[in-house]
Amino acid sequence: MQIALNNQKYLFNEGETIIEVARRAGFFVPSLCYSKHKQHKASCMVCVVRDIHSQQIIPSCTTVCEDGMNIEVESREINEIRRQALELLLSDHRADCEAPCYRVCPGNFDVVRMNRLYDCGHIEEAINHLFDVLVIPATLCFICNAPCERICRKGELGNPVSIRAIKKKLTSFARPDKIKKQQIELGKVIVVKGSDPAALAAADTLIRLGYKVIVVEPFSELLTPYIAESHLIDLALLEIEIAVLKQRGIHFELNCNELPISDALLTTETIKVKQPARMIVEGKRLALELHASLSGHTNEREYHFDSTFGKLSESEKGHLSNTLPTSQKSVESSQCLYCDCDKKMGCTLRDYATIYGVRGRKFSSYSVADALERIHIKGEIYFEPSKCIRCGICVYNSSNGFTFKGRGFEMQVVIPPQNYENIQDEIAGLCPTGAIFVRK
Amino acid sequence: MNCSHNHNIEDSIIELRAKVDKIVAQIGRESKDIIPLLQALQSEFNYLPYEALEYLYTVTDINRAQLISVSTFYAQFRHAPSGLHLIKVCTGTACHVKGASNVYDAFLRYLEIAEGETTSKDMLFSVEKIACLGCCTLAPVVQIDEKTYGHVMPGKVSEVISDFLSHLKDDSKESCRRTFRPIVGEIRLGMGSCCMASGSEEIYNELQVASDQLGIEINIKAVGCVGVCNKVPLIDIVKSDGSIIRYPNVKAIEIKEILLEHFQPANLFKQWKNKFLWFVDNFHTDQTWDNVAWKSEIERTHVINGFLKRQKHISTEGYGILSPLNIDEYITHGGFDALKCVISGTLREYIVDSILESGIRGRGGGGFPTGRKWKIVSQSISKDKYVICNGDEGDPGAFMDRMLLESYPFRVIEGLIIAAYAVGASKGIFYIRAEYPLAVVRIRTALKLCMERNLLGSNIQNTSFSLHLEVFEGAGAFVCGEETALIASIEGERGFPRQRPPFPALKGLFGKPTLVNNVETLSQIPYILRHGRGEYSRIGTTSSKGTKVFALAGKVNYGGLIEVPMGITLNEIIEDIGGGVEGGRKLKAVQVGGPSGGCIPARLCDIAVDFDAFNRLGAMMGSGGLVVLDETDCMVDVARYFLSFTCEQSCGKCTFCRVGIRRMLDILEKICSGKGDMADLDLLEELAIHVKQSSLCGLGKTAPNPVLTTLKYFREEYVEHINGECKTGTCKEMIKFVIEENCIGCTKCAKACPVDAIEYKPYGLHHIDTTVCVLCGLCVNECYYDAIKKISLKAYANRTK
């Protein structure tokens, strides 16, 4: 028995669906609500194809192949429909992929990750994350105007998370003597001119790549104009930060106006941005570009779709201020809401949105579910209804567990507490979004 | 501890459990029985009490997940107690265009129900919106418990409530009649839902009382819906010589006079006494001046004759004569002839071919050839097959199925039996929506009568053919009109449609081959077989055969239920049958086919009624609502209205229908509130096309039709809205009410205003506080001097400058 997919003939077995044959034939067919060998009903409609005979748009996941079928699996129009299905699902997906603080950080620092590590007591990992991304974290974040704290959702409920204070605290815990010296693997010497944040970031990146790095500063102090201009810089912490850099193996030449002999010179004069944290990013970029020209490697930054839902509604505010877990109410914790998604790296919805070029929100985003409401099911399984796309795969594959409530746009997937026990871990793997997840 | 208190609670739980046990014993304990079980629980307790449900889990196969899933899908089920009396405000199309949402608001205000609530504080009344009560010709319609009120304007709310409460007190039972004297004639009275809403029951009782008092021995016969809904209560006097005299719009007070006009009272003394009392009764009143009995024959009936002239009765054969539940009468009029003929040895293939060749197409909406469906089911090999009569008519603005089930139950049953015989099914189900209580009762009774006559059950008419039919009450979900969703609901699931193929004809109810036909389709079957396929296919157009029943409503002079041959034009229907547009206004469009249909503009209304012709215009036959719209109707609002209906009725399974329709509605609401821009129009169109193309079932595939047709034929109105003007003043967010200089200070508007937005200023120029005004329009109706005007926001801004 044969079926034509984009005018190519393929054999199929009795009972096979179009998606099975198409994927076997190497076509990329996205789908959210379907998983092979699992119970499912066509819902998400991102797997749609066109039946050429009837001109109908049909879901490939539930349509059983019939002999002589002629199917359009890929075309501009099919992609348009798939993209629109994704846009519609995302308009009702009241959730952030990345936390707002990360999104606004000019230094691309994942604040929530730091907070999670901090709250779980993984102090060393938190410090590493901080130094890896921000190079001179405590100093940098006090010469930065800290948009992270201004956009922090916690601020809508009262006070924002004291992100900078946490960074300061973590930096003070740093133990430069424990830092391992970087191996000079590439053998080449690079001179970095100046010691502004960009230069320090470039130096840090290059030493990590395995170059020998010399920072040449004409003045007697690193970060010369910045230290003079800011009263907020804690010099004791700066000392720790510099000690970390030195420990990695960077040589600092102060009061030096002569450039030593080197394989390459990196200067930050070309950088136009003034925002200190942005300069970190730019410095890293220059370093990577230099590395690329020296080694022939290329670096392309990938675009990632990022779902965002804006401000909290009144009901969400009420809900969140009542449901902060007690452990988070202690002074020691970061008090972070963890706005980002636990599944941001394994989310099929996000991946498809990226692939099909969904950008921003096309539709109004009124939604039934409250953002950031997280239900603890059992063990490490959580359920976050506002991320649910109502595909029902968890409903059809749990017995007396998840269920639908209501109908139409108001329809929600719910789970009554009495049914928590009936849930197995594998359900989280079936969920195409971060709605059901296992916290690591 | 209060021991007796605890005992009381325990006792009440034991009592509750006993009730649940009894219901389960009656209905069943399998998970497929969930809907009938919940219906029974709700009718026992008024809602679904938590304790009863908890107990249900322990005594049935139903689990928590299924219960939440099913009970929240169907609109019928309540998880909290409602008020003692339920006020259902119909928001069907006809009612909507006549201001139903104002009526709903008026009830909330009158009963002082707080925002977001639906029940009055004293728990006496709950108010809810309902998709359609099927009394479109009496719009706006309100039903309180079983009593229906027509033409309820916002100002009449208090009247309606007090009338309802007063009727509660003297709830008299129908009295039994005994016959002593020879019967001198017959009086026929329509008793469909619309007729009842217009007071037919009162007339029926009065006829009994009056004829007893006068000693006139007549046969009072309640017949089915007469279709002339605008002229009911309508009585036909059939004299002993067989001649018929017709009286439309009769009032109870006129009954005696009508009787005296045509029949001789029993004896001279009674005659004299009655005449005298009658005279005294009316001596000081003028109520008889407008009496129907005084009007000439032509004056009384020419409207009705015009209304009936262009019609052709197939589904409604025996119209105005047949008493709905009189099986003998149905048989005398040729009823069951077709059935008896086919089961006495006609080849099944021959019946299927007859249906195929008659050219009949399904009346439920899609217009799929009925014979083709029959053929597939009859050819599929299976021990068990099912037939289902789809009576889940949910279109706001359509009530033909209800009327057929109520008034011609035997014809529909006969059609279903023939269908079952032809396809080889031995089990069948009447799926009737619970909002049609009268239809459910009549079909149940009719089925029982058929069983008694061996027209149903085992070995029908001593043949080897057996068929068992039962009634399944739909629980309030429009999507269940879709055959696969309907099947899912019978199986005890959410009404999620399934993908076709496999078609139900091959794999339907419980996985068996299942024939699902619409009520109206089935009602045409006996005619086809009795008169022959040739005769049937002579009626209609090339591609659409037979007749179609329409609910003609909206801004038309004479609305009602009409059965017309296919091929008649819309203009003919409106002008010849409907008597033209109400108030002599200009026709703007006809909305055909409800939420899945579209708006056909006046300039195209010479189109013939035909499945394919409607489809070509982007509209659809749908189930047959015809709502006439005039120049005062806003087409953008009409589109928004239908979309808000489909949005609420979407099952939620597939993305395009669930989210797509919601987003379309968001855009329309933005446009209707004057905040839209031209880019919204393009986005709306793009989305509408994708929803139509890519939704899984018929509901989603047709839901964009009202938007697409209005965008196609009335785009300029959308542009007007974007430019900040709703010319008809329908879109509330774009208008304000103001009082003009010609106000004489009569204070009527101030008295009428339910929210005190108008200050009481005798002889002074009145003023509306627009921040308080709820735009209900009561003041406009009250103002004798036409001083209150609706003006656009722009004009309002200029005024206040």
pLDDT of B297: 60
Record the tokens describing residue B12, joined without a space: 């009440």
Task: Mark yes or no for CB contact A366/B666 under 8 Å.
Answer: yes
pLDDT above 90 coverage of chain B, percent: 55
pLDDT of B296: 61
Q: Which residue is closest to A83 within chain B, CA to CA?
A: B690
Tell me: pLDDT of B286 over 50. no
Shortest Cα distance from A157 to chain B (angstroms)? 26
Q: Is the peptide bond before B49 cis (omega within 30 degrees of 0)?
A: no
pLDDT of B1: 46
pLDDT of B97: 83
Shortest Cα distance from B487 to chain A (angstroms)? 16
Shortest Cα distance from A43 to chain B (angstroms)? 4
pLDDT of B798: 85
**Which of A43, A46, A77, A88 to mutate to probe the B interface, most B CBs <10 Å?**
A88
pLDDT of A242: 93
Between CA B629 and CA B206 the distance in angstroms is 37
Between CA B112 and CA B443 the distance in angstroms is 39
pLDDT of B271: 61
Q: Is the peptide bond before B601 cis (omega within 30 degrees of 0)?
A: no
Tell me the pLDDT tens digit for each residue of A131-178: 999 999 999 998 888 999 999 999 998 889 999 999 999 999 999 888
DSSP 8-state assignment for residue A385? G
**What is the residue-wise DSSP string for B555-618?**
SBSS-EEEEEETT-BHHHIIIIIT-SBGGG--EEEEEESGGGSEEEEGGGTT-B--HHHHHHTT
* Residues of chain B contacting residue A63, judged by C-beta atoms under 8 Å apart: 499
Average pLDDT, chain B: 87
Tell me the pLDDT tens digit for each residue of B339-381: 999 998 888 999 999 999 999 999 887 789 999 999 999 999 9
Is some CB atom of chain A closer than 8 A to the CB atom of B655?
yes
CB nearest to A401's CB, from B65, B72, B495: B65
Longest CA pairwise span in chain A (Å): 81
pLDDT of B147: 81
* Residues of chain B contacting residue A414, judged by C-beta atoms under 8 Å apart: 68
Shortest Cα distance from A101 to chain B (angstroms)? 29
Is some CB atom of chain A closer than 8 A to the CB atom of B699?
no
pLDDT band at B270 (very low <50, low <70, confident <90, very high): low
pLDDT of B389: 97
pLDDT of B95: 86
CB nearest to B660's CB, from A62, A88, A402: A88
CB nearest to A408's CB, from B69, B650, B693: B650
pLDDT of A79: 96
pLDDT-wise least confident of A85-99, B436-450, B660-674, B784-798: B784-798
The distance from CA A193 to its chain's CA centroid, rounded to whole angstroms, is 33
Helix (H, G, I), strand (E, B) or coil at B90: strand
Residue ranges of alpha helices (H) inside B673-790 are 678-694, 698-702, 705-713, 715-722, 748-752, 778-782
pLDDT of B234: 84
User: Which residue has 């034509």 as its token pair?
Assistant: A4
Task: Mark yes or no for CB contact A418/B683 under 8 Å.
Answer: no
- With CA atoms as reference, report the closest residue to B88 among B151, B148, B42, B137: B148
Task: Mark yes or no for CB contact B72/A404 under 8 Å.
Answer: yes
Helix (H, G, I), strand (E, B) or coil at B676: coil
In this prediction, residues B17-29 reach a mean pLDDT of: 96
**Which of B484, B653, B687, B701 to mutate to probe the A interface, most A CBs <10 Å?**
B653
Tell me the pLDDT tens digit for each residue of A324-369: 654 444 457 888 999 999 998 889 999 999 999 998 888 887 888 8
* Residues of chain A contacting residue B489, judged by C-beta atoms under 8 Å apart: none
Residue B127 main-chain phi, psi, to 5 deg: -115, 135
Is some CB atom of chain B closer than 8 A to the CB atom of A419?
yes
Task: Return the higher-pLDDT residue of A150 and B246.
Answer: A150
Helices then strands, each counted (H, E), chain A:
17, 14
Tell me the pLDDT tens digit for each residue of B607-633: 999 999 999 998 888 878 898 999 999
* Residues of chain A contacting residue B68, judged by C-beta atoms under 8 Å apart: 403-405, 414, 416
Helix (H) or strand (E) holding A82, with range, is: helix A76-91
What b/e readout covers B375-401, taking b as 16+ CB neighbours within 10 angstroms?
bbbbebeeeebbbbbbbbbbbbbbbbb
pLDDT band at A381 (very low <50, low <70, confident <90, very high): very high
Tell me the pLDDT tens digit for each residue of B539-593: 999 999 999 999 888 899 888 889 999 999 999 999 999 999 998 999 999 999 8
In this prediction, residues B172-197 reach a mean pLDDT of: 61
Between CA B536 and CA B528 the distance in angstroms is 6
* Residues of chain B contacting residue A412, judged by C-beta atoms under 8 Å apart: none
For chain A, positions 243-262, list CB contacts with chain B under 8 A: none
Burial class (CB in 10 A: 0-12, 13-18, 19+), A25: middle
For chain A, positions 49-68, list CB contacts with chain B under 8 A: 57-59, 62-64
For chain A, positions 89-108, list CB contacts with chain B under 8 A: 89, 91-92
pLDDT of A67: 95
Tell me the pLDDT tens digit for each residue of B483-530: 999 999 999 999 999 988 889 999 999 999 999 999 999 999 999 999
Shortest Cα distance from B135 to chain A (angstroms)? 26
The distance from CA A29 to its chain's CA centroid, rounded to whole angstroms, is 24
In this prediction, residues A39-55 reach a mean pLDDT of: 95
pLDDT-wise least confident of A95-99, B132-136, B285-289, B572-576: B285-289
CA distances to B269, B777, B783 from B759, in Å: 62, 16, 15
* Residues of chain A contacting residue B507, judged by C-beta atoms under 8 Å apart: none
Shortest Cα distance from B331 to chain A (angstroms)? 45
Query: What is this model's ipTM?
Result: 0.89
Contacts of B114 (CB under 8 A, 6+ apart): none
Is some CB atom of chain B closer than 8 A to the CB atom of A336?
no
CB nearest to A88's CB, from B73, B656, B670: B656
Report whether B387 contacts B514 (CB < 8 A).
Answer: yes
Average pLDDT, chain A: 91
CB nearest to B654's CB, from A45, A401, A405: A45
pLDDT of B288: 40
In this prediction, residues B728-751 reach a mean pLDDT of: 90
Shortest Cα distance from B474 to chain A (angstroms)? 16
Tell me the pLDDT tens digit for each residue of A95-114: 999 999 999 999 999 999 99
Task: Mark yes or no for CB contact A85/B655 under 8 Å.
Answer: yes
CA distances to B56, B302, B589 from B243, in Å: 60, 17, 41
**What is the residue-wise DSSP string for B537-548?**
HHSB-SSSBSEE
Shortest Cα distance from B45 to chain A (angstroms)? 22
Task: Return the higher-pLDDT residue of B297 and B385.
Answer: B385
In this prediction, residues A356-385 reach a mean pLDDT of: 89
Is some CB atom of chain A closer than 8 A to the CB atom of B154?
no
**What is the residue-wise DSSP string for B370-424?**
HHHHHHHHHHS--S--EEEEEE----TT--HHHHHHHH-HHHHHHHHHHHHHHHT
Tell me the whole-structure pTM to 2 decimals. 0.88
Shortest Cα distance from A356 to chain B (angstroms)? 17
Q: Is B724 left (phi over 0), alpha (psi -120 to 50) or beta?
A: left
Tell me the pLDDT tens digit for each residue of A290-317: 998 888 877 666 788 999 888 899 989 8
Tell me: pLDDT of A440 over 70. yes
Is some CB atom of chain B closer than 8 A to the CB atom of A410?
yes
pLDDT of A47: 97
Helix (H, G, I), strand (E, B) or coil at B317: coil
Shortest Cα distance from B96 to chain A (angstroms)? 22
Tell me the pLDDT tens digit for each residue of B89-125: 988 888 888 888 889 999 999 999 988 888 998 889 9
For chain B, positions 481-520, list CB contacts with chain A under 8 A: 494-496, 498-499, 501
Tell me: pLDDT of B387 over 50. yes
